[in-house]
Amino acid sequence: MQIAQALPFPYDFDPKSTALVLIDMQRDFIEPGGFGETLGNDVSLLEAIVPATQRVLAAWRGAGGLVVHTREAHRPDLSDCPPAKRNRGNPTLRIGDEGPMGRILVAGEPGNQIIEALAPVAGEIVIDKPGKGAFHATELHELLRARGITHLLFGGVTTEVCVQTSMREANDRGYDGLLLEDCTESYFPAFKTATVEMVRAQGGIVGWTATGGQLIEALGGA
């Protein structure tokens, strides 16, 4: 299959060796009262990508493709949260503090769950990651290799932080990655624009970009 309109040039992929990776579509970042808001961000910006991401997820599931969901999540004892991460900046609540949706960025807390609209179903991979990148201190690479995955389609939040970091990590591990432009968002629109452009610059130095609609069209309009 091919996404002919992908940039900087057409993206060839086989759904059998491709995974859709949705980064951190968790309440902590998308709903009021979570980590995103404690950092002073307007979280309503991120909600806007949910319908497009739902359409892609439905089409990808329909095509029988592997889905990976990630959550930025720390152990309850915070042993996997370096002080440099916890102490950075001046948030109203720090990682591990009790917030309106439970402890901030702690595994198992209500705020750490993937939003209802994109909730994982049986058979899908869910990765709890302590870092910004999905490959750092996780089994993701091994799980993907065991399934013969060579191509990754990325969506999720936030574009220039966890999505871009994960895409760069994937690129260095030899995956062909594509960023779904309308299925990713930032609290800073200019950062999203810059990320989309830098991913596909220099002949696709990090990977490709395309829209969810273009992927769905390539899948046969599922």
Residue closer to ligand C5J, measured from CB, 72 or 181: 72
Residue closer to ligand C5J, measured from CB, 140 or 157: 157
Query: Pairing state of beta strands 2-3 and 151-157?
Result: unpaired
Of 193, 216, 165, 155, which is closest to residue 25 (Cα–Cα)?
Answer: 155
Cβ contacts of residue 101 below 8 Å, gap of 6+?
27, 28, 31, 33, 34, 109, 110, 111
| 134 near ligand C5J (CB under 6 A) | no
Shortest reach from residue 29's CB to ligand C5J, in Å: 6
Let me know if 85 is a catalytic residue.
no
Extended beta strands in the chain, E state = 2-3, 11-12, 18-23, 66-72, 98-99, 102-103, 125-129, 151-157, 176-185, 208-210
Let me know if 129 is a catalytic residue.
yes
Residue range at the interface with ligand C5J (CB under 6 A); choices 55-63, 113-121, 143-151, 157-165: 157-165
Work out which of 53, 112, 113, 158 binds ligand C5J, going by CB under 6 A: 158
Site for ligand C5J in 81-110 (CB under 6 A): none
Of 156, 163, 181, 153, which is closest to residue 46 (Cα–Cα)?
Answer: 156
Length of the chain as a residue count: 222
Binding pattern for the stretch 24-53 against ligand C5J, x by CB under 6 A and - elsewhere: x----x------------------------
Residue closer to ligand C5J, measured from CB, 6 or 45: 45
Work out which of 153, 162, 206, 215 binds ligand C5J, going by CB under 6 A: 162
Q: Are 43 and 32 in contact (CB under 8 A)?
A: yes
Residue range at the interface with ligand C5J (CB under 6 A); choices 50-58, 76-84, 153-161, 209-217: 153-161
Residue closer to ligand C5J, measured from CB, 188 or 217: 188
Catalytic residue among 28, 81, 129, 182: 129
Shortest reach from residue 209's CB to ligand C5J, in Å: 18
How many angstroms separate the CA atoms of 92 and 182, rounded?
30
Let me know if 24 is a catalytic residue.
yes
Of 19, 2, 4, which is closest to residue 167 (Cα–Cα)?
Answer: 19
Residue 137, both tokens: 């201190």
Give the DSSP letter of residue 106.
Answer: B
Task: State the residues that interact with ligand C5J by CB under 6 A.
Answer: 24, 29, 72, 132, 157-158, 161-162
The set of catalytic residues is 24, 129, 162
